[in-house]
């Protein structure tokens, strides 16, 4: 791997010259390294680019890594990864992606990830996205995440994009079964003329199911963000969505929440707030000796934690 690939891997995964445990590293549309363990099995798909990944029943405390990177312009990478998480498994999946271009050509990665999660599972899915390089070529990442949760399972999805991605359209769909929970924490920062669109479509189909969706974003310069979220309560369930956004300079944000209560025992709540940084916050930090720019950075860093 070249230095661009290693830098991207360092940012989006736990790369320190190597990865421990089950992992698959993808570079410019090709698999460069793959390792299974006794309880996590990674196999290449036979009919299209991507992986079939199986986590054995009862697996506990393991972490797998499936980072992908595009290191130069002119690459349009598309990959299909399917995860089969068997009953009573507890696993963390780190699926970072980075794109780099130093010329006028676009660099793009599109990862389509499907999760089939059994009963009594706990899955933590960490997704980090970054764009680097000084070229005029666009840096695009368009992830699709499709989740089917069985009974009494939990999936936590932690998604971060805070640097350099010119264009992104993130799509997340989930079907939540009886007694199961889908928890999403999303953080996005855009700058320059970057564009970020996020779509959520979540169905709570089982009694006792729940969803907690929290999106925090910062739109700087002339960037634009749009959030569309649809939560459907099709059973006795609880759903909560929250969209908080800060705009600076000429940044713009639109949020379109939709709640569909299709069962008399569905309880659904949405919260949203979009605005600039409060003046009193800046004044307080400036009183400690920070410049206005330094104070703004501190506030944004805390907001996106």
134: Cα separation from own chain's centroid: 24
Question: From the CB of residue 279, how many other CB atoms can be counted at a distance below 10 Å?
Answer: 8
pLDDT tens, residue order, the chain (305 aa): 788 899 999 999 988 888 989 999 999 999 999 999 999 999 999 999 999 999 999 999 999 999 999 999 999 999 999 999 999 999 999 999 999 999 889 999 999 999 999 999 999 999 999 999 987 899 999 999 999 999 999 999 999 998 899 999 999 999 999 999 999 999 999 999 999 999 999 999 999 999 999 999 999 999 999 999 999 999 999 999 999 999 999 999 999 999 999 999 999 999 989 988 877 777 777 877 888 788 888 888 888 88
Instruction: Return d(Cα 224, Cα 289) in angstroms, integer.
Output: 32
Cβ 149 vs Cβ 157: under 8 Å: no
Instruction: Return d(Cα 54, Cα 199) in angstroms, integer.
Output: 27
| Site of tokens 């999303």 | 186
Question: From the CB of residue 254, how many other CB atoms can be counted at a distance below 10 Å?
Answer: 12
Q: What integer pLDDT is reported at residue 134 of this predicted model?
A: 85
210-213-215 Cα angle (round to 5): 175
**Helices and strands (H and E) in the chain: how many:** 3, 22
User: Three-class SS of residue 291?
Assistant: coil
DSSP structure class, residue 205: -
Q: What integer pLDDT is reported at residue 302 of this predicted model?
A: 85
Cβ 68 vs Cβ 26: under 8 Å: yes
Instruction: Return d(Cα 224, Cα 293) in angstroms, integer.
Output: 21
User: Three-class SS of residue 284?
Assistant: helix
Burial class (CB in 10 A: 0-12, 13-18, 19+), 174: buried
Q: What integer pLDDT is reported at residue 72 of this predicted model?
A: 92
> What pTM, to 2 d.p., does this model score?
0.93
Question: From the CB of residue 61, how many other CB atoms can be counted at a distance below 10 Å?
Answer: 7
Question: From the CB of residue 74, how many other CB atoms can be counted at a distance below 10 Å?
Answer: 14
| Site of tokens 């936590």 | 156
135: which 2 tokens?
């070229």
Q: How many residues does the chain have?
A: 305
Q: What integer pLDDT is reported at residue 214 of this predicted model?
A: 96
Pick from 128, 135, 200: which is nearest to 166 by CA? 135
Pick from 227, 228, 185, 178: which is nearest to 203 by CA? 178
Instruction: Return d(Cα 180, Cα 26) in angstroms, integer.
Output: 32
User: Three-class SS of residue 213?
Assistant: strand
Q: Which helix (H) or strand (E) holds 187?
A: strand 181-190
Instruction: Return d(Cα 67, Cα 109) in angstroms, integer.
Output: 11
Q: What is the DSSP string of 192-261?
A: TT-EEEEEEEEEE-STTEEEEEEEEEEE-TT-EEEEEEEEEE-SSEEEEEEEEEEE-TT-EEEEEEEEEE
């Amino acid at each position: 791997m070249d230095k661009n690939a290693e830098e991207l891997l360092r940012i989006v995964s736990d790369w320190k010259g190597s990865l421990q445990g089950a992992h698959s590293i993808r570079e410019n549309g090709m698999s460069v390294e793959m390792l299974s363990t006794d309880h996590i099995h990674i196999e290449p798909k036979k009919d299209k680019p991507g992986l079939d990944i199986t986590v054995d029943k009862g697996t506990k405390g393991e972490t797998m890594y499936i980072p992908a990177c595009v290191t130069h312009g002119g690459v349009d990478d598309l990959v299909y990864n399917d995860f089969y998480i068997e009953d009573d498994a507890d696993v963390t999946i780190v699926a970072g992606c980075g794109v780099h271009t130093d010329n006028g050509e676009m660099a793009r990665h599109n990862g389509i990830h499907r999760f089939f999660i059994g009963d009594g599972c706990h899955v933590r899915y960490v997704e980090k996205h970054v764009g680097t390089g000084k070229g005029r070529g666009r840096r695009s990442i368009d992830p699709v995440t499709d989740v089917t949760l069985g009974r009494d399972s939990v999936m936590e999805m932690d998604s971060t994009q805070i640097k350099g991605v010119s264009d992104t359209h993130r799509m997340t769909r989930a079907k939540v079964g009886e007694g199961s929970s889908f928890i999403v924490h999303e953080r996005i920062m855009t700058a320059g003329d970057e564009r970020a669109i996020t779509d959520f479509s979540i169905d709570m189909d089982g009694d006792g199911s729940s969803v907690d969706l929290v999106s925090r974003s910062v739109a700087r310069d002339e960037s634009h963000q749009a959030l569309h979220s649809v939560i459907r309560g099709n059973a006795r369930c609880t759903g909560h969505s929250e969209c908080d956004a800060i705009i600076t300079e000429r940044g713009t944000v639109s949020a379109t929440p939709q709640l569909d209560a299709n069962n008399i025992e569905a309880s659904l709540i949405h919260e949203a707030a979009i605005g600039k940084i409060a003046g009193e916050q800046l004044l307080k930090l400036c009183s400690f000796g920070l410049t206005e720019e330094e104070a703004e950075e501190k506030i944004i860093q805390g907001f996106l934690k």
